[in-house]
């Protein structure tokens, strides 16, 4: 199966081919370089990987098309899409959200940082609030350009799944 991945800060998506070899073994090709991977699920959200003889423990969480990983103390956020999803995104690219947008907590966690204030003008994709969940920080971004009309998030407080954090109009 072919996927396209893009880490934060990357300009271009990278093609990744993943082929199952059976019994938790895979052939992974990234930018033309091939790796042999043995994968074992340790528990929910954690994999033990053996990549060309090197051992890695990887903690991960999925948030829509984005996958957050923790490998050897380093956190990475990667957008992952197959060819069909890329075509759908391109087709939807000309549409934008309108009206009042309420940004909700994607899962239970703790508000680490509030990046905006009431009355502030924001751009589409601008960070609004950072929530820590499952040992990973998630920056929640504005789905549209507009003005912040309400801020419910307070730094250091715990939030439940779907808690209101910020409103952009």
Share of the chain above pLDDT 90, in %: 42
Write out the two tokens for 50. 């053996």
12 DSSP assignment: S
Write out the two tokens for 149. 């009309």
Closest CA to 136 of 80, 47, 68, 55: 68
Closest CA to 9 of 79, 82, 68: 79
Distance in angstroms (rounded) separating the CA atoms of residues 93 and 115: 26
Question: With 0-12 CB in 10 A as exposed, 13-18 as middle and 19+ as buried, what is 108?
Answer: middle
Confidence of residue 115 (pLDDT cuts 50, 70, 90): very high
* Mean pLDDT confidence for 106-129: 92
User: pLDDT per residue over 26-45, tens digit each?
Assistant: 999 998 899 999 999 888 88
User: pLDDT per residue over 53-108, tens digit each?
Assistant: 899 999 988 877 788 888 888 888 888 888 787 777 766 654 456 788 899 887 88
Confidence of residue 159 (pLDDT cuts 50, 70, 90): very high
36-40, 140-144, 146-150, 162-166: the lowest-pLDDT one: 140-144
Looking at residue 169, what is its pLDDT? 93
Looking at residue 49, what is its pLDDT? 93
Confidence of residue 134 (pLDDT cuts 50, 70, 90): confident
Looking at residue 94, what is its pLDDT? 46
Q: What are phi and psi for residue 85, nearest 5 degrees?
A: -65, -35
For CA atoms 19, 16, 94, 149, the dihedral sign is positive
Q: How many CB atoms lie within 10 A of CB 152?
A: 18
Distance in angstroms (rounded) separating the CA atoms of residues 98 and 100: 7
Domains delineated in the chain: 2-88 (3.30.700.30), 96-168 (2.40.50.100)
What's the whole-model pTM score?
Answer: 0.51
């Amino acid at each position: 199966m072919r996927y396209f991945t893009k880490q934060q800060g990357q300009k271009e998506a990278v093609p990744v081919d993943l082929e199952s070899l059976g019994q938790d073994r895979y052939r992974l090709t990234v930018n033309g370089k091939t790796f042999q991977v043995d994968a074992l699920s340790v528990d929910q959200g954690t994999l033990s990987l053996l990549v060309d003889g090197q051992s890695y423990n990887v903690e991960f969480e999925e948030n829509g098309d984005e996958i957050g990983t923790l490998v050897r103390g380093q956190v990475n956020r990667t957008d992952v899409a197959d060819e069909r999803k890329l075509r759908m995104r391109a087709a939807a690219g000309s549409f934008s959200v309108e009206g009042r947008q309420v940004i909700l907590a994607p899962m239970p966690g703790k508000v680490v940082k509030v990046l905006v204030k009431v009355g502030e003008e924001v751009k589409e994709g601008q960070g609004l609030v950072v929530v820590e969940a499952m040992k990973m920080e998630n920056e929640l971004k504005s789905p549209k350009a507009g003005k912040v009309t309400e801020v419910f998030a307070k730094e250091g407080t715990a939030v439940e799944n779907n808690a209101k954090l910020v409103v952009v109009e």
